[in-house]
Structure 1
Amino acid sequence: MRIGLDYRASAGYPISGIGRQNFALEEAFRAHPDVQLQLFGVAPYNHPIRRLIHAPRWATPLNSVHRLHDRLGFEGLFLPKALRDAEVQIYVANINMGLPVGRKPANMRYVLQLHDLFQITQQNNHGSRLKAGIYRLTDYLSIAYSLKVADVVWVPSQFTANEVLRLFPSAREKLRVVPLLVEGFKGEPADIRSLQLPERYWLCVGTREPRKNMPWFVDAWQNARLQFPTVPELVLVGGDEPLNDSQRKLPGLHVLSGISDDELHAVYAEADRLWQPSYAEGFGLPVIEALRVGTPVAVASGSSLDEITPPDSPRFSPTDSSALVQLMGTLSTAPEEDPAALKAWTTTYDREAFYKRVHEALEELR
């Protein structure tokens, strides 16, 4: 099988969730004995990545995947001919859209890895209402087009599959649930004494988008601290942009951004518990990352978090503040959970399991 992979996420956003899954697909394809892999992307002139990928002759910034005119140039003007010239049999795009524009060759199959539909279903941070409206419209059209021309659509959870069916019911027969790869941290956790974190703390990772539900969660945590003196301090990884000024000044609240993977490893490992209060998640990487180092979790119900979290882990409604406050009080004195059991749960998402799922998904495209 000669497979072409859209490499724009890896090149432009290597530490993002989608970028990391782009690398994961590359590794899974290279591990298949019958796959010849070709990479397609964009780059500035004289950038070293041009030696690794098929790229347009014109220069394009690496981080241009969200710029409509750059996307159309790549997907419409460059990609169709480049795929034919490279004799690609299966082309895979993993940025929720991005399949070639124009008539698809009869002997070529398209795969869309669709992580979620939050670009068109949720309020996102775009700086202005006008910009947000333009992005929502163009993203809707791009996703709808890619769903239409794709032969198969890989989604990471049944939650995402259900969202696709709700908005695009004609894609029903194309959907395949292929959960993501969540790698363990490489090496040992860093010494994080310089971060000056408290001896005991709870943790939230990923705070920026409104769907992460952070202002609501921080309010509940503050109320729980007033009612239960055993509730620990709170560490947010990802910034405090969603919070208001009074929340940012709360005693016991710590905000981290720009930390290294080794530091994040340690922050996970030393936390008493990870909380994931999102009301919309397509998969939930931080939950698996926490469990992989033996840190227990508590998650909001109603999205993919229901699927990826151990069945006996605490769950809460993402809208019921009083119930969450009571749960925080209960868990602040709960006995320690078995780290070995938590780690064992995550084998479903390790490298071997992911490769097996991807290779099985390829079989129907032969």
Structure 2
Amino acid sequence: MPELVVLTEQLLAPVPGGTGRYTRELVTALAATAPHDWTVAGVTATHKDLSPAVVTGVAGPRALPLGRRGLTALWERGVHLWPGGDAVHAPTPLAPPSPRRGRSLIVTVHDLVPFTHPETLTRRGAAWHQGAIQRAAARANAIVVPTVAVAEDLHRYAPGPATVAVVGHGVPDALLADVAPAQLHATAVGLGLPDTYVLAVGTVEPRKGLDVLVEAMALPYAPDLPLVVVGPRGWGEVDLAALAKRHGLADGRLHLLGRISDADLNVVLRRAAVLAAPSRAEGFGLPVLEAMAVGVPVVHSDVPALVEVAGGAGVGVRAGDAKALAAGLRAVLDDPASTARRVVDGRSRAEAFTWSHAATELWRLHTRFFEMASVK
């Protein structure tokens, strides 16, 4: 039986972030929708503990004979260490430099931020991602991107012969599950949640624009609500508590929850008055989709990918503009009739995005390119 190997290394990263969520949801869906004659396995670099990369229904994880740093350096230098399998899917640009003869390789490129906004990454991180994306575009069979906006950026900054396919993300089942009132209350008490609030979800790092959100919430015409932020600390030393103090956000209005489970996020989302997505750059914007799916109104920055994903169901404001963001949040709360229409449109929009659909589209690509490689 042919085997699809998915590189699940991102599940073992110190801060898996949105690409970690993508990896876990996608490999789960790939295993659930696999053609009857295919198997799916996860492969990582060598780590002391591989348990975070265990995925139900997926074989492995199998560890390659190098740690993450060594594996990254090897592939960066063009060494053809194949991770096994007949077809390989790399959910991030960490990928073999090219497929082996008779094998196929597809790489997901989530965004072109290393080219368009390199200042929002470390210098080393931006340079590595630029090179990895260029190699993938030149040598992989196909590149998968989550939005048309990213496809356009790819053609502009890293053109290559690889086929480019737009395949959106989905909403985890855990966020769509109904929650009993008693459980809603118990989780809210356990997390110390206010009654209602403005919510932001994302890794706390410069690209996410959370500094702008804190500034916006301190303005006199911003919603008089607490701000709840869900997500782990990333790079860049973005200290939201210090920013709140600097901008005069009243004590007790900022709640930092850090990383939480999907079950808890389900509750946190449903209790929010509005989701704020103030990113300076994005390739997709999972929190926007997830909020719309559960009926939470969204205010997002005007970066192209967020505008595309929201599909007109959100309120768009200029990226980096705290005054515009505060006004957008206030407008959502002050105009319940318009907001109710946007919520209905958002739910309808979100229904078009499922992990099952994403996996089905990827299987079409993998089986097509594997068959092509097999006859060469």
Aligning the two structures, in what range does the TM-score lie when normalised by the shorter sequence? 0.7 to 0.9
Residue 174 in structure 1 maps to residue 176 in structure 2: no
Tell me the residue number matched to 2:374. Answer: none
1:42, distance to aligned residue in structure 2 (A): 2.1
Residue in structure 2 matching 1:237, options 218, 230, 240: 230
Distance 2:120 2:290 in 1: 25
SS in 1 for 2:304: coil
SS in 2 for 1:97: coil
Residue in structure 2 matching 1:55, options 60, 63, 83: 63
1:74, distance to aligned residue in structure 2 (A): 7.0
1:155, distance to aligned residue in structure 2 (A): 0.5
Tell me the residue number matched to 1:317. Answer: 318
Q: What is the 5 A alignment of 1:69-88?
A: 69-73=70-74, 79-80=81-82, 83=84, 88=85
Seen in structure 2, the aligned counterparts of structure 1 residues 217 and 44 have a Cα distance that, compared at 3 Å, is closer
| 8 A Cα contact 1:276 1:287, kept in partner | yes
Tell me the residue number matched to 2:211. Answer: 215
Tell me the residue number matched to 2:106. Answer: 111
SS in 2 for 1:24: helix
Seen in structure 2, the aligned counterparts of structure 1 residues 143 and 327 have a Cα distance that, compared at 3 Å, is closer
Alpha-carbon displacement from aligned partner over 1:208-228 (angstroms, at most 9, x marks no partner): 2212112222222221xx136
Alpha-carbon displacement from aligned partner over 1:30-80 (angstroms, at most 9, x marks no partner): 22223233432223468677982443346x3xxx3xx3x342347866833
Distance 2:210 2:50 in 1: 39
| 8 A Cα contact 2:6 2:43, kept in partner | yes
| 8 A Cα contact 1:56 1:78, kept in partner | no
SS in 2 for 1:278: coil
Structure 1 unaligned segments of length 5 or more: list them: 127-131
Residue in structure 1 matching 2:40, options 13, 37, 40: 37
Residue 94 in structure 1 maps to residue 105 in structure 2: no
Q: What is the 5 A alignment of 1:126-137?
A: 132-137=122-127
Higher alpha-carbon deviation: 148-157 or 291-300: 291-300
SS in 1 for 2:218: helix
| 8 A Cα contact 1:239 1:255, kept in partner | no
Distance 1:325 1:315 in 2: 12
Which runs of structure 1 show a deviation greater than 4 angstroms over 4 or more consecutive aligned residues? Answer: 11-15, 45-51, 73-78, 123-126, 338-341
Matched AA of 1:174:
T
Tell me the residue number matched to 1:164. Answer: 154
SS in 1 for 2:334: coil
Seen in structure 2, the aligned counterparts of structure 1 residues 255 and 29 have a Cα distance that, compared at 3 Å, is closer
Residue 284 in structure 1 maps to residue 288 in structure 2: no
Seen in structure 2, the aligned counterparts of structure 1 residues 38 and 266 have a Cα distance that, compared at 3 Å, is closer
Bigger relative CO (Cα 8 Å, ≥ 6 apart): 2
Seen in structure 2, the aligned counterparts of structure 1 residues 193 and 105 have a Cα distance that, compared at 3 Å, is closer
Distance 1:45 1:312 in 2: 45
Residue 147 in structure 1 maps to residue 137 in structure 2: yes
TM-score by length of structure 2 reads 0.79
| 8 A Cα contact 1:96 1:114, kept in partner | yes
Distance 2:114 2:106 in 1: 19
Tell me the residue number matched to 1:129. Answer: none
Tell me the residue number matched to 1:206. Answer: 202
| 8 A Cα contact 1:202 1:274, kept in partner | yes
Distance 2:349 2:21 in 1: 21
Seen in structure 2, the aligned counterparts of structure 1 residues 138 and 198 have a Cα distance that, compared at 3 Å, is closer
1:234, distance to aligned residue in structure 2 (A): 1.6
Query: What is the RMSD of the two structures over their aligned residues, measured on CA atoms?
Result: 3.1
How many matched pairs?
343
| 8 A Cα contact 1:282 1:304, kept in partner | yes
Seen in structure 2, the aligned counterparts of structure 1 residues 265 and 29 have a Cα distance that, compared at 3 Å, is closer
Distance 1:159 1:348 in 2: 18
1:270, distance to aligned residue in structure 2 (A): 0.3
1:174, distance to aligned residue in structure 2 (A): 1.8
Higher alpha-carbon deviation: 40-49 or 155-164: 40-49
Matched AA of 2:265:
L
Matched AA of 2:25:
A
TM-score by length of structure 1 reads 0.81
| 8 A Cα contact 1:210 1:242, kept in partner | no
Seen in structure 2, the aligned counterparts of structure 1 residues 7 and 237 have a Cα distance that, compared at 3 Å, is closer
1:309, distance to aligned residue in structure 2 (A): 0.9
Distance 2:298 2:49 in 1: 46
| 8 A Cα contact 2:134 2:159, kept in partner | no
Matched AA of 1:177:
V
